[in-house]
A = this chain, B = another copy of it.
Amino acid sequence: MNEKIIQKVRENIPLIHHLTNAPTMNFVANGTLAFGASPVMAKSIDEAADMAKNADAVYINIGTVAAEDIPAMIAAGKAGNEKGIPVLVDPVGNAATPFRSQAVDRILAEVKPTVIKGNAGEIAHLAGMDWKVKGVDSVGDGNIEDAAKLVAEKYDTAVVVSGKTDVICVGERIFTNDTGHHYLTLVTGGGCLLGSIMCSCLSTDDSIEEQLLTAVEFYGLAAEYAVAQDHVKGPGTFMATFLDALSMDAAILKGEKQHESINS
């Protein structure tokens, strides 16, 4: 983890344009704010590209996409590509229905992603591998690194496979991260918000492997910190405390420093 990346995000307050799913918008926006960036979620084709031109990164997540939403996603992604800002694509549940699979194909045919991020089932589906899924969740197992490398080559992009161990593929290099907690899977949008935190980190001038590793490691540490707090008794109190943790310094999450009172 490169903590300077987090500091830069908090100094620059990058504007992250989200084309994302309905159920998790509120949580993702709050997590983006907590981390120190600025979310905007202008989903209309009438302004998606204009908003991307103002932004520092574009995040496309197909969680509850309908056919009529795809043109705005493509327009925002292309505007991001033209501006030269990072564009992250999250192919949520792409194996669950033919429509989802085709929606991702349509987007990736026109938008060049800086990063494709998904769970193992989603990345495996993009790689053309068989994988067991349930709704929008991955429940199968197989060689995740192979899947990531195939997708990285096929789409000429960095790839992040989120899971118990996160796998990051940049070119032919593989990096892994083991911070995190299964409680993130008990909160809707745990994966979606990670995509937004990645976008925030991608907006700095550091190397992409440092940016992605910082995002996943910090995110996992925040979950570990939240679960370790005495007042957290389940997914509801976890969610509130996890948002708190995203606003803290890495040193606090790692137990190297005490959290200062905000009540003074």
A→B interface (CB under 8 Å): 13, 15, 17, 21-30, 33-34, 38-47, 50-51, 54-55, 64-67, 93, 96-100, 134-137, 183, 185-189, 227-237, 239-248, 259, 262-263
CB-CB nearest in chain B for A259: B233
Contacts of A46 in B (CB 8 A): 66-67, 97, 99
Is the Cβ of A44 less than 8 Å from the Cβ of B30? no
Is the Cβ of A233 less than 8 Å from the Cβ of B237? no
- Asked, given contacts A97-B50, A235-B30, A263-B227, whether A65 binds B38 with beta carbons under 8 Å apart, the answer is no
Q: List 7 A-B contacts (CB under 8 A).
A: A40-B93, A42-B97, A44-B65, A44-B67, A232-B262, A235-B243, A239-B240
Min Cβ gap A197→B in Å is 14
Kindly state the separation between the CA atoms of A30 and B50 in the bound complex, as whole angstroms: 32
Contacts of A246 in B (CB 8 A): 234
Is the Cβ of A245 less than 8 Å from the Cβ of B234? yes
Contacts of A245 in B (CB 8 A): 234
B33, B96, B186: the one contacting A34 at CB < 8 Å is: B186
Beyond A30-B239, A231-B231, list 4 extra A-B contacts (CB 8 Å): A25-B26, A33-B187, A38-B137, A236-B241
- Asked, given contacts A44-B65, A240-B239, whether A228 binds B263 with beta carbons under 8 Å apart, the answer is yes
Is the Cβ of A236 less than 8 Å from the Cβ of B234? no
Min Cβ gap A154→B in Å is 24
B24, B64, B229, B230: the one contacting A42 at CB < 8 Å is: B64
Is the Cβ of A247 less than 8 Å from the Cβ of B186? yes
Kindly state the separation between the CA atoms of A54 and B244 in the bound complex, as whole angstroms: 36
Contacts of A247 in B (CB 8 A): 186, 234-235
Contacts of A228 in B (CB 8 A): 263
Kindly state the separation between the CA atoms of A27 and B259 in the bound complex, as whole angstroms: 27
Is the Cβ of B25 less than 8 Å from the Cβ of A134? no
- Asked, given contacts A30-B236, A38-B134, A243-B239, whether A43 binds B15 with beta carbons under 8 Å apart, the answer is no
